[in-house]
Structure 1
């Protein structure tokens, strides 16, 4: 059976450590947090049109 490859730190690509998983160090974990807080990372979403009526797509409204 093939062994699973050691995962790498997503910030610097070094071997990760269990203590700071999935990062290799506290420094890399803080760099990643800073990137999230500054808006460098974002979760993609679909833009909602300005005239979108939320009640139309809300399944709870159809039950009332």
Structure 2
């Protein structure tokens, strides 16, 4: 995605974002960021903060 704000806006709209590097998916659940591997069904709270460009540049819808 282009920016940290674009990532946060997409997540707030209920979109699931996927890292093209790791295959991890990210979504908001009860206002908290959660992640899972693409082949798993369980979501876990994520510590990812999107504080630097590599953490959002590789995310896609």
TM over 0.5: no
TM-score tier, shorter chain, comes to under 0.3
**Normalising to structure 1: TM-score of the pair?**
0.20
Structure number with bigger Rg: 1
Task: Select the structure that is richer in helix.
Answer: 1
